[in-house]
Amino acid sequence: MEQVSCFYGPSKAYLYKYLLLGGSNLDIIGILPDTRYIQVRAIGGDNPCWMNLEWMDVKGDINTVEPIDPEDILLPASPYYSALTNVSAVRDGNQVTISWNPLFLRAGDDSLQEPYLVETWVCQGGELTFVPIGAYITLANVIDEPGCEEPSHGRVYGVEKHGYTRYVVVPWPVFEDDSD
């Protein structure tokens, strides 16, 4: 691969940050196993970004890299836009549909990527799993199964070329067991 995109977060659902050239030597400073993205930086550098592990020729044992908690990832804040409004979620069995009011951007503020980011922590296969979703419309669907000890949850951001709105916590719908 001659060039690889690097993002502000551990998925292509996040804003593009910069391009990496193939053959570059980078420090791997973190990993998010749920998305298979790694946080990298130039050796001795101080401007990390996230790239898909499949594009990296790793020298050493990737399993020794410290996992990063996605709740600790700092995203650049939008100086121009407020948080999204009317965020809600409904459950239909294992599917949770999250919705919100649209964010209207001024001319020139479009990132040319998805204008919404939904970060979810959902139960899949008995494990709480981080699932980030980029959306072009004002709703996103995610699978959330019963069976995890930790509660599922999520948050939604508006996205524009300068950064992210303050997130809004999704009022997560509980799983109702109809087997009784």
Tell whether the model's pLDDT for residue 174 goes beyond 80: yes
Average pLDDT, the chain: 93
Q: How far apart are CA 8 and CA 111, in angstroms?
A: 13
Q: Report residue 36: phi and psi, to 5°.
A: 60, 30
Higher pLDDT, 177 or 122: 122
| Amino acid in the structure at residue 107 | A
pLDDT at 43: 84
Higher pLDDT, 176 or 69: 69
- Render 101-116 in DSSP notation, one character per residue: PPPPPPTT---SS-SE
- Lowest mean per-residue pLDDT among 57-66, 118-127, 132-141: 57-66
Q: How far apart are CA 108 and CA 97, in angstroms?
A: 30
Average pLDDT over residues 18-25: 84
Tell whether the model's pLDDT for residue 22 goes beyond 80: no
pLDDT digits (tens, 9 = 90+) for 68-106: 999 999 999 999 999 999 999 999 999 999 999 999 999
Question: In the 8-state DSSP scheme, what is residue 94?
Answer: T
pLDDT at 2: 82
The token duo for 13 is 């659902």
Given pLDDT bands bounded at 50, 70 and 90, which one contains residue 25? confident
- Lowest mean per-residue pLDDT among 119-123, 144-148, 162-166, 176-180: 176-180
Average pLDDT over residues 124-152: 97
Given pLDDT bands bounded at 50, 70 and 90, which one contains residue 180? very low
The distance from CA 66 to its chain's CA centroid, rounded to whole angstroms, is 18
